[in-house]
Copies of this chain bind each other. A is one copy, B any other.
Amino acid sequence: MSVKVAVAGASGYAGGELLRLLSGHPEVEIGALTAGGNAGTALGAHHPHLVPLAGRILVETTAETLAGHDVVFLALPHGQSAGIAEQLGEDVTVIDCGADFRLTEAEPWVEFYGGEHAGSWPYGLPELPGQRDKLRGSNRVAVPGCYPTVSTLALLPAVQNGVVDPGQLVVVAVSGTSGAGKAPKPHLLGAEVMGSASAYGVGGTHRHTPEIEQNLTPYAEQPVSVSFTPVLVPMSRGILATCSAPVADGTDLATLRQAYEDAYRNEPFVHLLPEGQWPQTQATLGANTVQLQVTLDQRTGRAVIVAAMDNLTKGTAGGAVQCMNLATGLDETLALPLIGVAP
């Protein structure tokens, strides 16, 4: 079997990471690579690391250039996926790395993104209970945001087992700067970023906030509330999310830990570390893995969960390939590295 794929938005970071992974996929043939302003240039000018594809010329992102593929990955700026997706037939599997179809409700869409809500597609986080089956064979997938992926996986076992108060969740997630994309802005310049840490989207204004709450709500016995603060730090890739919440009365560390062991025992890409070992983002660089550790702060009665992930791999392109594997009936783990590049 061979799956012919196109990547729309191939010159950006998500596009580049998709192609890094897809180049090693044994069942994939890489077809059209499209771009906006970079159409007409060679892929290698934007992604010199993609050696075998460096000579490929980027074409315009249109329904025509994307036609004739089994799978189309959309790695476009937010708001551009809906327009192109409606021109692609039902026989094409569309995997959207953008935000357009992630939120099920119109209200948070309007509040956080503005404009009209395009609707929602099956949500590409197979680790959510029951979600894996919904993704199998689906011809549309909305790949989660990077922060929601890691935050949801970090909090879900505790929320689902009722061992924490879901109304008092606090997430502070430090992130590398590739998550902000390749469009040049002054605050993302190397000289600004190196040697500096800064918070942004503080006070629940980051667009990923409602997505995290949407993910956890079905599994919580009470309303979910997440105080989410992202912090930019001097690295290219990686997210380290520090999550905490008050534990329910009588919860001890063993119970808390057991919730995580049970939840992820059979997950190929989510790993609870041995006791006493805390995650570091470097260990997940370029891999499709999430590494977790959990503890109970006896003084404050809060569970603290720390999770590490590569925002471009499991957080975007790896998650997308994982969804493609499920959607097209392939082994879910194909072409997805377990091992990060460290140091």
Give the contacting residue for A297; candidates B191, B227, B300; CB below 8 A. Answer: B227
Q: Report the bound CA distance from A204 to B50 in whole Å.
A: 29
Which residue of B44, B193, B204, B304 is within 8 Å of A202 (Cβ)? Answer: B304
If A172-B242, A343-B236 touch, does A184 touch B182 (CB 8 Å cutoff)? no
Indicate whether A343 sits within 8 Å of B300 (C-beta atoms), given known contacts A170-B244, A190-B236, A281-B196: no
Report A276-314 CB contacts with B as 1/0, cut-off 8 Å: 011111111111010101011111111010101000000
CB of B48 within 8 A of CB of A277, answer: yes
Query: How many of A's residues come within 8 Å of B, CB to CB?
Result: 94
Residue contact B204 to A300, C-beta cutoff 8 Å: yes
Beyond A281-B196, A289-B51, A293-B202, whether A174 also contacts B174 by CB under 8 A is yes
**Given A204-B298, A286-B341; A277-B45 close (CB under 8 Å):** yes
- Complex CA distance for A342 and B191, rounded to whole angstroms: 9
A209-266 contacts to B (CB < 8 Å): 209, 225-227, 229, 231, 233-238, 240, 242, 244, 246
Is B51 a contact partner of A199 (Cβ separation < 8 A)?
A: no
Central interface residue in A51, A176, A342, by most chain B CB within 10 Å: A342
- A115 contacts partner chain B, Cβ-Cβ < 8 Å: no
Cβ contact within 8 Å between A287 and B195? no
B209 close to A197 (CB less than 8 A): no
Check if A23 is an interface residue, CB within 8 A of chain B: yes
Q: Specify which chain B residues have a CB less than 8 angstroms from the CB of A24 in the assembled complex.
A: 337, 339
Within 8 Å by CB of A191, from B23, B178, B271, B279, lies: B178
What would 7 more interface pairs be, CB under 8 Å, given A49-B339, A226-B300, A237-B343? A13-B343, A20-B341, A47-B283, A190-B193, A198-B308, A199-B279, A203-B304
The 7 nearest A-B residue pairs measured at CB: A190-B193, A196-B282, A184-B184, A172-B172, A49-B340, A198-B280, A203-B295
Q: Can you name 18 A-B pairs with beta carbons within 8 Å?
A: A47-B342, A48-B273, A49-B283, A51-B271, A52-B339, A174-B197, A174-B231, A182-B191, A184-B184, A184-B185, A194-B194, A195-B235, A199-B242, A200-B278, A202-B278, A202-B293, A203-B298, A231-B240
